């Protein structure tokens, strides 16, 4: 009865149709080409223009790369070798400058016999973030990550081991204060002790205690001052520290901006709008010049530390806004469901709201991180040797490399690209892993 | 009577109303801005009562039950839930909320957690129940709403009806003494409404104190011992279901019933 005209008479289907395979024109390479490259007159033209542009670019740039010279002692020597090998008028890259000066691009003026220290610090950094980034790893490894900042400090700057130890001890002091305050029955005393005691420790006690311990048991490694830092050691130090510090600060600011408490909200909004409204370079100048006027005379506040603080504040304001977007995208019902189950504000934020809001914000947060990392090259304006301009200028100041432009920029750009592309890939991995709708 | 068919005979043997007061609302008023959304509400709910609240949209029925666990704040009058008065005291609010379960129109499951984690979250973090015990309780209630096999899936993988049953189980895991239902079947396909109503009937048969905002009049007939009709933020009429449906007193009620039952 299946051939009955279903439109004209009453109809009942008796057999359900099975799935059929699609016709040949709907699968395969021909279909892909037609759909993606030649689906119309305009698209065909665009495809051809695109191919032409790629061919032209490769044609123009490829010889320059192929003619590249690695073994030479100066730019004129490079040019001579290229002219001899490829004929007069041929262009070629002079990679010899990278071979000769790669250590300055990577380490600045860090003492060469101590190169292993920043390298080890970077390797340990990857070991320390691994348990944070990949939840499959055992959670106990996070304890190791907690001590990484002290290890990194001693590796990068050296000096007395007692300095980072006494700084880390501040956290222990705060914890002891919290435990002691729990014994009493005053609810506000705990958080107050946890914040105030470490501050007192850091401001007044940490320094003398470290000095005293150093007098009793001298323990330390060779010190490297901040003005020796340069190139990627500098960029990575500032970039990683600011990335790690700005995320928690950004979360706090985003929650503050959505708070019902007027003062908290006003402070958060004021901070975010002020920082976002001012160029980063202004903040860096403030860090390098003005902070010295405000701090008591004789305070020696390390310039890299000051820059890290300013870059952190700058990135935190942007991250706060990105996370605010994530918070706003959560349906009201999520907050209500958490409330109706009796979860208090902090538990609702920690367990329900932030995991979802942060997931939504991942692309924005990683974009901010990438921007932050690239912005570390702006420290050139406060006299630090960033890899892009500071070091390149220093290299070009040598008579034999005068006139080298493209090669250092390509080299530095490629290293930035590796780090940033890595961050971008990780964010895509994370987004995929956290996908919950269709599995 | 209505488009909802209640498939089985409802067992009324445990549906006794005790003389203990569960919720007492006295001359309560609420405004949204300058809009007077709830006007002089007086309502006493005894333990074991099953109340259905109905009325046209915008009549304040959802707002009323949301005031009972302080998702909405009332501006005057008193609300006493299980002997605890709702004031701005956060401790009291959290206490009431952990005793009162709520089921929402749009389920509001936590999409980033598995079904099992959705169910164990509040017992573990609010009641401080050990994880294993919380999971056993969760499986018991999942069994009860007839979807234990979905425990390790995520909410997005379930149908609407299944999600709403999970939401009911999630509330039950807190062992609440009162359950509030805010239009629990309004966002569901007709085929799924029945499975959710069956779950709710099962709950009523065990003697749970329930307040349901719903337009499922078949459910009201079968389960409720009181139907409340609201309009313009006021309780216009309340009665036991048979009288309410067959012999409505106010003109507004008659009009409302003729509109929802007449088609």
Q: Which two tokens stand for residue A435?
A: 């996908």
* Cα nearest neighbour of B68 on chain A: A340
Neighbour order of strands in the sheet with B178-182: B100-103, B178-182, B209-213, B50-54, B226-231, B234-239
For A269, half-sphere exposure in the C-beta direction (CA atoms, 13 angstrom radius) is 10
Phi-psi region of B235 (alpha: psi -120 to 50; beta: other; left: phi over 0): beta
Average pLDDT over residues A85-89: 82
* Domain stop point among A221, A256, A274: A221
Establish if A151 belongs to a structural domain.
no
Whether A133 maps to a domain, the answer reads no
Number of domains in chain A: 3
Residues of chain B with Cβ-Cβ distance to A436 below 8 Å are: 111-112, 154-156
> What gap in Å lies between CA A65 and CA A418, rounded to an integer?
19
Residue B239: count other Cβ atoms within 10 Å of its Cβ.
17
Q: Is residue A22 part of a domain?
A: no
User: What is the domain extent for residue A90?
Assistant: 37-98
Same domain, A404 and A311: yes
Last residue of a domain, one of A172, A188, A221: A221
Residue A73 burial class via C-beta count within 10 angstroms: exposed 0-12, middle 13-18, buried 19 and up: exposed
Residues B15 and B12: their CA atoms lie apart, in Å, by: 5
Q: Same domain for A239 and A185? A: no
Q: Answer yes or no: do A282 and A393 share one domain.
A: yes
State whether ipTM is beyond 0.85. Answer: yes
**Judgement on whether residues A409 and A261 belong to the same structural domain of the protein:** yes
At A261, phi and psi to the nearest 5? -80, 125
Residue A121 in domain: no
Identify from B71, B81, B184 which residue to disrupt to test chain A contact, counting A C-beta atoms within 10 A and taking the largest count.
Answer: B71
Q: Give contacts of A352 with chain B, Cβ < 8 Å.
A: 110
Contacts of A342 in chain B (CB under 8 A): 94-95, 97-98, 122, 126, 174
Judge: B125–A347 Cβ closer than 8 Å, yes or no: yes
**Residue A279 falls inside a structural domain:** yes
C-alpha A346/C-alpha A86 separation (Å) is 69
Q: Are residues A217 and A306 in the same domain?
A: no
CA atoms within 13 A on the CB side of A30: 5
- What CATH number is given to the structural domain containing A353? 1.10.3720.10
In a domain, A1, yes or no: no
pLDDT digits (tens, 9 = 90+) for A265-281: 999 999 999 999 999 99
B108/A336 touch (CB, cutoff 8 Å), yes or no: yes
Q: Answer for the pair A416, A410: CB distance below 8 angstroms, yes or no.
A: no
Say yes or no: A419 and A284 in one domain.
yes
Domain end call among A191, A221, A251: A221
Query: How far is residue A140's CA from residue A146's CA, in Å, rounded to a whole number?
Result: 11
A137: tokens are 């790893």
A286 and A197 assigned to the same domain? no
Question: Which residue in chain B has the smallest CA separation from A433?
Answer: B112
Tell whether A244 is covered by a domain: yes
* Chain B residue with minimum CA distance to A358: B112
**Same-domain pairing of A169 and A298:** no
Do residues A214 and A231 both lie within one domain? no
DSSP state of B217: H
Verify that A380 and A262 share a domain, yes or no.
yes
pLDDT per residue over A194-213, tens digit each?
A: 888 888 888 888 778 888 88
Task: Look up residue A346 and give its two tokens.
Answer: 């902090």
Task: Please report which helix (H) or strand (E) contains residue A67, including its range.
Answer: none
Contact B104 A337 (CB under 8 A): yes
pTM given for the model = 0.84
Residues of A in contact with B171 (CB under 8 A): 340-341
Strands B226-231 and B50-54: parallel
Answer whether residue A382 shows pLDDT above 60.
yes
- Whether A214 and A315 map to the same domain: the answer is no
**A10 within some domain:** no
Residues A317 and A353 in one domain: yes
Mean pLDDT for chain A overall: 87
Q: Number of A:B CB contacts under 8 A?
A: 70
Residues 6+ apart with CB under 8 A from B191: B161
pLDDT in tens, chain B (263 residues): 445 556 567 777 777 788 889 999 999 999 999 999 999 999 999 999 999 999 998 899 999 999 999 999 999 999 999 989 998 888 889 889 989 999 999 999 999 999 999 999 999 999 999 999 999 999 999 999 999 999 999 999 999 999 999 999 999 999 999 999 999 998 888 888 988 999 999 999 888 999 999 988 888 988 899 999 999 999 999 999 999 999 999 999 999 998 887 65
Q: Torsions phi, psi of A408, nearest 5?
A: -60, -40
What is the average per-residue pLDDT within A417-434?
92
Residues A268, B114: Cα–Cα separation, whole Å: 34
Q: Which two tokens stand for residue B150?
A: 């979905």
């Amino acid at each position: 009865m299946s051939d009955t005209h279903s439109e004209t008479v009453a109809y009942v289907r008796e057999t359900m149709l099975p799935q059929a395979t699609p016709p040949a024109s709907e699968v395969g390479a021909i279909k892909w080409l037609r759909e993606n490259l030649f689906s119309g007159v305009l698209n065909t033209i665009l495809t051809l223009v695109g191919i032409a542009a790629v061919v032209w670019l490769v044609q123009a740039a490829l010889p320059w790369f192929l003619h590249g010279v690695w073994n030479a002692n100066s730019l004129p020597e490079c040019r001579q070798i290229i002219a001899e090998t490829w004929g007069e008028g041929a262009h070629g890259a002079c990679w010899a400058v990278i071979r000769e000066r790669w250590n300055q691009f990577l380490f600045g003026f860090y003492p060469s016999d101590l190169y292993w220290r920043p390298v080890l610090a970077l390797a340990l950094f990857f070991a320390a973030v691994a348990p944070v980034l990949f939840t499959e790893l055992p959670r106990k490894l996070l304890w190791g990550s907690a001590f990484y900042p002290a290890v990194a400090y001693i590796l990068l700057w050296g000096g007395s081991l007692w300095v980072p130890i006494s700084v880390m001890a501040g956290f222990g002091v705060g914890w002891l204060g919290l435990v002691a305050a729990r014994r009493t029955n005053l609810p506000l005393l705990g958080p107050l002790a946890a914040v105030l005691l470490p501050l007192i420790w850091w401001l007044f006690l940490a320094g003398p205690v470290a000095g005293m311990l150093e007098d009793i048991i001298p323990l330390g490694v060779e010190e490297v001052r901040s003005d020796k830092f340069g190139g990627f050691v500098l960029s990575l130090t500032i970039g990683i520290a600011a990335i790690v510090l700005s995320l928690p600060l950004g979360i706090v600011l985003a929650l503050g901006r959505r708070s019902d408490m007027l003062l908290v909200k006003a402070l958060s909004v004021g901070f975010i709008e002020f920082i976002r409204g001012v160029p980063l370079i202004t903040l860096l100048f403030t860090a390098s010049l003005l902070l010295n006027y405000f701090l008591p005379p004789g305070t020696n506040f390390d310039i890299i530390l000051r820059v890290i603080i300013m870059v952190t504040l700058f990135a935190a304001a942007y991250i706060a806004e990105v996370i605010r977007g994530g918070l706003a995208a959560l349906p009201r019902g999520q907050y209500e469901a958490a409330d109706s189950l009796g979860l208090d504000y902090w538990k609702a934020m920690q367990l329900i709201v932030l995991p979802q809001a942060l997931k939504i914000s991942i692309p924005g947060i990683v974009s901010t991180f990438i921007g932050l990392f690239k912005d570390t090259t702006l420290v050139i304006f406060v006299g630090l040797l960033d890899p892009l301009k500071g070091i390149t200028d220093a290299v070009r100041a040598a008579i034999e490399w005068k006139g080298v432009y493209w090669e250092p920029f390509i080299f530095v750009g490629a290293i930035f690209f590796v780090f940033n592309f890595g961050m971008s890939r990780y964010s895509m991995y994370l987004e995929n892993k956290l996908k919950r709708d269709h599995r | 009577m209505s488009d909802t068919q209640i498939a089985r005979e409802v067992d009324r043997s445990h549906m006794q109303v005790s003389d203990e007061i569960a919720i007492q609302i006295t001359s309560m008023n609420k405004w949204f801005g300058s809009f007077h959304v709830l006007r002089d509400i007086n309502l006493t709910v005894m333990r074991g009562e099953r109340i259905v609240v109905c009325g046209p949209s915008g009549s304040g029925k959802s707002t009323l039950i949301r005031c009972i666990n302080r998702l909405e704040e009332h501006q005057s009058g008193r609300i006493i839930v299980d002997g605890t008065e709702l004031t701005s005291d956060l401790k009291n609010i959290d206490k009431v909320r952990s005793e009162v379960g709520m089921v929402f129109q749009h389920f509001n499951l936590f999409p980033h957690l598995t079904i099992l984690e959705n169910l164990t979250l509040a017992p573990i973090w609010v009641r401080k129940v050990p994880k294993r015990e919380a999971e056993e309780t969760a499986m018991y209630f999942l069994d009860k709403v007839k979807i234990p096999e979905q425990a390790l899936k995520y909410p997005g993988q379930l149908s609407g009806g299944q999600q709403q049953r999970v939401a009911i189980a999630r509330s039950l895991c807190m062992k609440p003494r009162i359950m509030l239902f805010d239009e629990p079947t309004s966002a569901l396909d007709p085929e799924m409404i029945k499975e959710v109503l069956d779950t709710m009937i099962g709950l009523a048969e065990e003697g749970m104190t329930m307040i349901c905002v719903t337009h499922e009049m078949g459910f009201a007939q079968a389960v409720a011992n009181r139907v409340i009709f609201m309009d313009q933020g006021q309780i216009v009429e309340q009665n036991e279901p048979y009288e309410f449906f067959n012999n409505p007193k106010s003109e507004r009620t008659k009009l409302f019933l003729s509109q929802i039952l007449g088609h």
